[in-house]
Every structure is written in C-alpha cells, then in structure tokens.
Chain A
Amino acid sequence: MHTSRLVQVLRAVGVVAIIAWSLAPVAIGLITSLSTEADVQAVPAHWLPDAATLANYQTLLGGEVIQGGIRTPSEVRAFGTAMVNTAVVTVEAVVACVVVSVLAGYAFSRLRFLGRRVAFVALIVTLEVPVFALLAPLFQLMAGAHLIDTQLGLVLVYVSAQAPLAVWLIYNYCRELPQEPEEAALIDGCGHFGVFWRIALPQMRSGIAAVSAIVMLSVWGQFLVPLLFAPTNATKPVTVLITEFVGKYNSNQPLIVAAGMLALLPPAVVAIALNRQIRGMLSGWSN
C-alpha cells in the first residue's frame, strides 16, 4: 500500500516536471517577446517585464513602432515576406507531397503490378539516405535548371526528402484499413480507380491529416536547405531570416524572440490540434 502511494506521488511530480520542461522555454519566449530591451538586459534578470508591451509584435507586423534594432521599413517588410514565403512553400510542398504519397502508398499496399516490390524497397531504402549527403549534387542540379531561389526548386527538394516517409506511413495506414468494402465494390463492377477514389480515399481521411501534419511540421522548420536554395527575399523563409536577425539585432533580444514566437505559432497550432492523429501515426511507424 505504501509503495503505491509513493509511486502516485512520484508520478504526479513527474507529470509536473514534464509540463515544466516542455513549456518553460516557450513561456520564457512569450514573456521575453512582451518585454523591452531594458527588461531583458537587467541584471539580475526581471522574470516579468515591468510593463508588458506589444511593441515588438507591432514592429514586426505593422512597422508602426520603430525601436532599437529594426530601423527601415524594408527590414520590417522582410519579416512579413519571409513568413508568407514559409507559409506558401509549406502549403505547396505539403499538398504536392501528400498527393503523390497517397497515390503511391495506396498503389503499393493494394494493387498488384510488375516491379512493385523493387520500386517499394528502393523507395524505403532512401529513408536511410541523409539529406546532407545530397546537398551538393542537388545544388548543382538545381543551379543547372535555374531553380535556385524559386518556389518550385524548394518544393521539389522538400517533396523528394519527405515523400519516402510519407509513402511508408500511408502504406502502413492502408494495410490497417478493412479491405472488404473495396473488394465488394470491385465485385459490383467498380473499376480499380473508382474503388480508390470513392471507397478507399474517404476512409483514409484521418491518415491523410496525420501525414499532412507531419510533413508540414518538418517543412516549416527547414533551415539548411533554404539557407542554400533560397538566398534572396523572393523565397527566403522565416527560419533563415531569424538567424540573420540574430546577427544584426543582437542587442534587441525581445524583437528577435517575438519573431521566433510568430514563427512557432503555426506549427504549434498544428501539433496541438492534430496531436492525437500525429501520435497514432508516429507510434505505428516505429513498430
């Protein structure tokens, strides 16, 4: 009896520790973003700002408040542009990757065709190829095709990097789906494509949502790839811009952290909203 009480107390302490560990850096970031430079530079630290301010967010989003650090409207616009760049390329890459992966994942799990095994194994083997091994030759290829600093170039690189995992997840998901409705529709004279489109696809909704979320989180946070493939404001994502801010506005930590908080908002919302589906997919993948 005593042990179980002790275990319960330890478990409660553990739960609190997990919450604190996971949230503390984000909470500190939020507080920092609402502070002024003076608050942040105080020694010993002010754990809360003397007066919370939205000025950093206003500077980044509206450009109305000019305070130490960002001085020109063009630098303010650069942040908005980078957020839009990240959002647009992420949406494009997720849509492209999920569409081709759903088609292929379904084909590999349900349809019989010559070379299916070879193609599938070749695809899964590429899961073991780290992206950095490909950066130099990919850069040459993309430069040759004039795709550096274009959305298309970035989307192609992201799709090639994410598709193997996405296909693998969709493939496993399809194998768990009941096959009887599809077989019944086939017997009733529905063609193979009709079966996929009308019977299988609607059943795959939650799997597709989970894979989309996983691909979204990965693409949104990309840094090294766009550092090379997205050199100008035309395509530069917010992750790369933030590291430039770190160099330029070193003294104005609240402003940089506010930029980071805006950049983490979309992935945080996706992760929290779809956490059940993501968890299911990730635990299935590892088994």
Chain B
Amino acid sequence: MTAIPGGRASHRRGWRPPGPARLAEARLGWLLALPVVAVIVALVFYPLVLGFSLSLRSVHYASGTPQTFVGLKNYIDVVGRPDTLAALSHTLGYVGVAIVLEMIFGTLMALILNRGFGGRSLLFAILILPWALPGIVSGLLWTRILNPDNGLLNSLLYQIGAIDHYQVWFSSPVASIVLIAIVHVWGVIPLTTLIILAGLQSVPEELHAAAAVDGAGPAAQFRFVTLPLIRPAMAVALTMGTVAALGIFDEIYVLNGTALGTRSIQMQIYLTTFGQLDFGRGTAMAFLLALVTIVFSVFYLRGLRRQTT
C-alpha cells in the first residue's frame, strides 16, 4: 500500500551515466529535501525528545519548583487520577459514538453518491463544506440548534409535540457526549464518505451484473459483492475517524467549555499543562494518548493488511 522511493531506481540505471551527473542529481536531491527535513527534525523530532524528557521530570512552573528527575512517576500518577479516568471514559464515548455514526452513515452516503446523475459536482461541493469549516465555527452554528433556552431543536420538538417542555441537552453527561459527538461527526463524515466512495468506485460494474444474473437482489449484492471489496477503504476511514475523535477539543470547547462532565482527554492535557502549568504530568498524559492513537492506527491497518493479503 505504502510505496517507498527506491523501487524504480533499478530500471533507470540503464540510460543514466554514472559519475558527475549522479553527483549533481544527489546534490540537488538533498538541496530540495533539506528545508522540510530541517523543519521536521527541529520542530517534530527534537520536541519529541524534549517532551519525553519533560514527562520524566517534575516541572511545576506555578510553584517554581526546580526540575527533578522522577522517572515514570508522572505516568503512574496520571493513570491513577480520577479526572484522567473520567476524561478517558468521555473520550472513549466520543470515539464510540463518532465512529459508529461515521461508518454507518458514511457508507450510506457513499452508496447514494456512487451513481452518476446531473449536478453531481455541485452535490460534492455541498458534501465537503462541513469538513472545510473551522471546528470552532461548526460548534458555534450548532449552539444555535442545541441551546437549552432558545435553541431550534427544542423549539422544533416542542412545536411538533415530541416534548412538553424545553430540554437542557447538556444536563445529562451521556446526552452531552452524544450531541457533541454528532457535531464532531458533522465535520468528519464528508471525509469518511469520500474515502469509502473511492473504495466503491474501484468495485467493477461486471461483478454486480454477474451477481444480478445469479439472482442476487440489491441487499445481497451489497452484502456479498460490495462490502468485502470496500472493507479496506472502510478500515482507512475507521482509522482516520478514530484518530480525529481521540483528539476532539474544539467542538467541546465551544459547546460546553471545559466542564467536567464532557471534558476529553485532550482537554485534560491542555488544562493540566497550560492551566495548572504542570508540564511533567501534562506531557506524560499527552504521550500516553499519542501511544493509544498510534496503537489504534497500527491495529486497524494491520487488520487491513491481513485481509488484503
């Protein structure tokens, strides 16, 4: 799946004169790659090392305590703290709700968009719009819908008689997490749909025709022809959706601030690091979340490789 450079060098060797020309090529190659490599070394790899070292120290800027090496103490403290565990369970809630909705409705939307019809290009422009908008602005648009005092959802449900008084949507933790996850899904599902759609478009039309001849209805065709073939695309979409939901922050911040009941792990990291100025514990938490994120993506993508080979 991932093509790494180097593979095509062998067939080129035939016509390229070695010597000064090769040297000039190598020099130019490095020259062109250097700016990006420098930025990544200085602003990704170096901070990673620095961050790991921070996470092993007690660095408490608020109290002015000097840096002392504490080993894995920050990691152990962080894992045992009830606010971390609460934030972790909220985050798993966001991830669970988000990926279930994204996979079901993303697949449905991709199936709907998979046939050619007039105005398809305009429809795609509309589809990707929510993905393009800043998370802060999406959250803001949804506050008008979800506001407990004058929100449109309350008004709609009241006017059609579904509820007999206005609901405070963010009063129950479960409802809050589901609603915030829906707002998050609004911004992510265009990408889920595009990824699954790309998988759908690689399914040859003849397979459906053959299945239809064999008497398979649309449901059976989807179950036995389409689904197995789009599974790789679904795995990619699932990975992307999980990683996005694990890092959820902006939507929560606009819709419910940093309230305890809806705080995500990402928000807990932010508050610990930059609110309490506890860089040691904050970074330890961030590294744990990064680890979880990487484990999730490796897990999905390994499952994917097993299926395709």
Contact = CB atoms under 8 A, between A and B. Distances in A.
Contacts of A242: 136-137, 140
A114 B39 CA distance: 19
A73 interface: no
Given A11-B115, A133-B286, A267 B141 contact: no
Q: Is the interface of A mostly helix, strand, loop or mixed?
A: helix
Interface in A225-281: 228, 239, 242-243, 246, 253, 256-257, 260, 263-264, 267-268, 270-272, 275-276, 278-279
Interface string B100-121: 0000000011001101010001
Interface residues of B, number: 110
Nearest to A35: B144
Contact of B36 (A104, A139, A141, A187): A104
A260 B236 contact: no
Interface of B: 1-6, 9, 12, 15, 22, 24-30, 32-33, 35-37, 39-40, 42-48, 50-51, 54, 108-109, 112-113, 115, 117, 121, 123-138, 140-145, 147, 149-152, 155-156, 158-159, 166, 186, 190-191, 194-195, 197-199, 202, 217-218, 233, 236-237, 240, 243, 246-247, 249-250, 253-254, 266, 269-270, 273-274, 279, 282-283, 286-287, 289-290, 293-294, 297
Contact of A113 (B30, B151, B166, B237): B30
Given A18-B113, A123-B36, A132-B269, A41 B129 contact: no
Interface stretch (A54-62, A152-160, A203-211): A152-160
A103 B293 contact: no
A163 to B, nearest CB: 5
A279 B124 contact: yes
Interface of A: 3, 7, 11, 14-15, 18-19, 21-23, 25-26, 28-29, 32, 40-45, 47, 99-101, 103-104, 106-109, 111-117, 119-124, 126, 128-130, 132-141, 156-157, 159-160, 163-164, 167, 171, 175, 183, 187, 191-193, 196, 217, 220-224, 228, 239, 242-243, 246, 253, 256-257, 260, 263-264, 267-268, 270-272, 275-276, 278-279, 282-284, 286-287
Contacts, number: 311
A134 B51 contact: yes
Given A130-B289, A286-B236, A243 B37 contact: no
Q: Is the interface of B mostly helix, strand, loop or mixed?
A: helix
Contacts of B129: 22-23, 26, 268, 271-272
